[in-house]
Amino acid sequence: MGKKNEIVMSGIRPTGYLHLGNYFGAVKNYVRMQDEFECYFMVADLHSLTTHPDTKELKANVHRVLSENIACGLDPDKVALYCQSHVYETSELYLYLNMMAYKGELEKTVTFKDKARQHPDNVNAGLLTYPVLQTADIILHRALYVPVGKDQEQHLEMARNFANRFNHRYGEVFPEPQAFNYGSELVKVPSLDGAGKMSKSENQFATLYLSDDDDMIRKKVMKAKTDSGPTEPGSVKPDYIENIFLLMKLVSTDEVIQKFEEDFNKCTIRYGDMKKQLGEDMVRFIAPIREKAESIRNDETYLKGVMEKGAEKARKSARATMELVREAIGLKYF
């Protein structure tokens, strides 16, 4: 399929390791979009300074997040894959947008209130204006679609407000960015302990990371909650059993799933066997990604090339936008 001219932009936090929930909830969407749109995917290293002023681990984290995303199928030749701090135009646009962002609306942002509560000793202005920086990231490329999860909806709404405010004040420069994902619902990957979805902040043992080794994967899967099995044919599955089937649907073949569905319905299911199968299928899914990510991470020359090429693409688009922005604001004196 040929690419549409529409522009996609999203940011990836350089904190934490990628897990299965990130893969099916976000990265898979990016990989699909790269063939259909002009895409800008950025590692939000400047944003991380709002909550992680200590930068000792930053370089390793940036390298890891780039490696993991490439290993999942993001192609640096198809998209602009870059670091936020390499595109200085972001900071300039952030400054202009800050003049249009009101203290009151920033203080009302849910993520700001949460983070202020978590780090009461570091409620800095960067934290307050986090959504302004995020807006700059997006509209710097005049992006239309932003693949993000539900937790980012308020930031997206603020981005629309800031973009519209700019257009109103200085003339039409920016389209309205909107959240975008394939399908109406994002794929939710259930956690292995039967409670909620996989996430890095919850139970570590209930989350499968793309960096987990084979034994760790098997061990985590075997620990998933089950019971002694249904006693009546055609029983309704309890949530935690439904979750195991959901996980299977992500990585196992149709025949395997069908077999266990039938066993469940006939009350002959053995959850130990089911989890063993799921463990092996998870290993088959995760191991190649883990190995690819590791080899990329160890290739600093390759990563440097990726970052340089990505920054160059992003800056080209950023420069064009900033010409329009400065002119619209009235900063052209000669």
Residue number, nearest CB to ligand TRP: 11
- How far from each other are the two terminal CA atoms of the chain, in whole angstroms? 45
Check if 115 is active-site: yes
Q: How far is the CB of 304 from ligand TRP (least distance, A)?
A: 23
Annotation marks residue 188 as catalytic: no
Question: Could you give the CA distance from residue 25 to residue 138 in angstroms, rounded to a whole number?
Answer: 20
Cβ of residue 31: shortest distance to ligand TRP, in angstroms? Answer: 16
In whole angstroms, what is the distance from residue 16 CA to residue 202 CA?
A: 12
Determine contact, residues 13/48, Cβ cutoff 8 Å: yes
CA distance 63 to 316: 23
Asked whether the beta carbons of 106 and 133 are under 8 A apart, the reply is no
Least distance to ligand TRP, CB of residue 155, Å: 6
Is the Cβ of residue 9 or residue 274 nearer to ligand TRP in the bound state? 9
Which residues contact ligand TRP (rule: CB under 6 A)? 9-11, 13, 44, 47, 134, 137-138, 146, 148, 152, 155
- From the list 138, 146, 134, 141, the residue with the least C-alpha distance to 106 is 134
Residue 141: CB atoms within 10 A of its CB come to 24
The active-site residue, picked from 28, 78, 188, 197, is 197
Residue 236's region, left for phi above 0, alpha for psi from -120 to 50, else beta, is beta
CB of residue 130 to ligand TRP, shortest distance in Å: 7
Catalytic residue chosen out of the listed positions 28, 78, 188, 200: 200
Residue 316 known to be catalytic: no
Q: Which is nearer to ligand TRP, 138 or 187 (CB)?
A: 138
Task: Name the DSSP letter for residue 108.
Answer: T
Active-site positions read 115, 197, 200
